[in-house]
Amino acid sequence: MTAGHRISIEESGRQVRVVRDGRELARTDRALVLRETGCPPRYYIPPEDVRLDLLTPSATTTYCPFKGTASYWSVPDAADLVWAYPDPKPEVERIRDHLCFYEADVS
């Protein structure tokens, strides 16, 4: 990490649900919460708890100098709604293959 930039990852301990247009895309009590300087908390969900059959792989990739290269998935009305790091930087290894949604309800 660079000076002043921090990332922490911990078990959320909360129920996390992702619902879009009335359809549940994910539900878990095993999410990891990633907190990063300058960003809102993000919930990374194990793939076993995501309706992968409702997601379409996207050609989009992005690079983060702190986490690595992200791959994306879309749903019919929301392009690139979901991302994951299949080969993350060693410092964030815990999020490997977990999926993160731009919108998630936490309870």
Q: Is residue 1 assigned to a domain?
A: no
Q: Look at the chain and report how many structural domains it folds into.
A: 1
What CATH number has the domain bearing residue 91? 2.170.150.40
DSSP letter assigned to residue 76: T
* Residue 2 placed within a domain: no
Nearest to 101 by CA among 13, 34, 8: 34
Between CA 6 and CA 69 the distance in angstroms is: 18
Distance CA 94, CA 44 (A): 10
What's this model's pTM, rounded to 2 decimal places?
Answer: 0.92
Query: Encoding tokens for residue 61?
Result: 């990739």
> Do the domain assignments include residue 72?
yes
The pLDDT tens digits for 32-76 are 999 999 999 999 999 999 999 999 999 999 999 999 999 999 998
